[in-house]
Amino acid sequence: MPNVKLTYFNLRARGEPCRLLLAYGGIKYDDNRIPPPWDPTSTWSTLKPTTPFGQLPILEWDGVEICQSMACARFIAREVGLAGNNSLEQAQVDEIIDVIQDLINTWVKFYFAKDEAALKNFADVTLQTALGQLEKKLDSRGGQYFVGNNLSWADLHVFMYLGDLDKAAYANYPKLTSLYERVGAVPNIKAWVESRPKTDL
């Protein structure tokens, strides 16, 4: 069993991809949570200069530090067998990850800018367009899983993203809805979602 510690804020946000993958793999780890930067009790201002790139999350794996949420998650995905089974499948997984990350990164900018008009356009247009494209892609792969007709990090990442939306947002996409339910039923994923700290983001 590897010695694992994940340091991130007490949020799902950019730490949750790693947490879901670790849960799936049954890997016990130190879930080291720092109060978010906007919390008055946060230690982030003193911690930040000590970090390799002034950012979180940081994954420690058997004494080695890895930064950048996607590098950490992709590493764990490889360790737990969810990264794709050959070079082409790995690219297919990464494609879906990047689609979701584009959505998250766009939304985050609008959210912290408190741009209500942009957030509304995102929800009504950008998000719905992307969900339609994801539904079509899932269908083209056989409709059960995004890559290789078996569970991969791509499915976990889409599950994570849909879980942060209102059910109504993806109600018109039956294959995505089925995928969400089936990934959510995987025992370790189900147990983690039920037991994890409840946070706004």
Partner 1 sequence: LTMPAKFPKVTVKYFDTTARGETIRLILVHAGQDFKDERLTFAEFGALKPSLPFNQFPVIEIEGEGTLAQHMTICRYLANRHNLTGHTLKAKAEADESVDALNDIVEKIIPIFLTPGDDAKRELVDKALPDLQARFKTLEKRLESRGGQFLAGNTLTWADLHLHHIVHNMLAKCLATEALASCPLLTNLNERVASLPNIKKWNADNLNRNKQF
Q: How far is the CB of 138 from partner 1 (least distance, A)?
A: 11
The DSSP line for 61-96 is ETTEEEESHHHHHHHHHHHTT-S-SSHHHHHHHHHH
Between 56 and 147, CB nearer to partner 1: 147
CA distance 185 to 179: 10
Stretch that binds partner 1, among 61-69, 116-124, 129-137, 178-186 (CB under 8 A): 178-186
Q: State the nearest-atom distance from the C-beta of 1 to partner 1, in Å.
A: 12
What number of chain residues touch partner 1 (CB under 8 A)? 25
* Closer residue to partner 1 (CB): 87 or 195: 87
Q: Which tokens in the block code for residue 179? A: 């995928």
Query: Does the protein bind partner 1 through residue 85 (CB under 8 A)?
Result: yes
> Packing angle between helix 127-140 and helix 174-184, nearest 10 degrees?
80
149 sits near partner 1 (criterion: CB under 8 A): yes
151 binds partner 1 (CB under 8 A): yes
The SS3 call for residue 53 is: coil
Q: Which residues bind partner 1 (CB under 8 A)?
A: 24-26, 80-81, 85-89, 142-144, 148-151, 175, 178, 181-182, 185-188
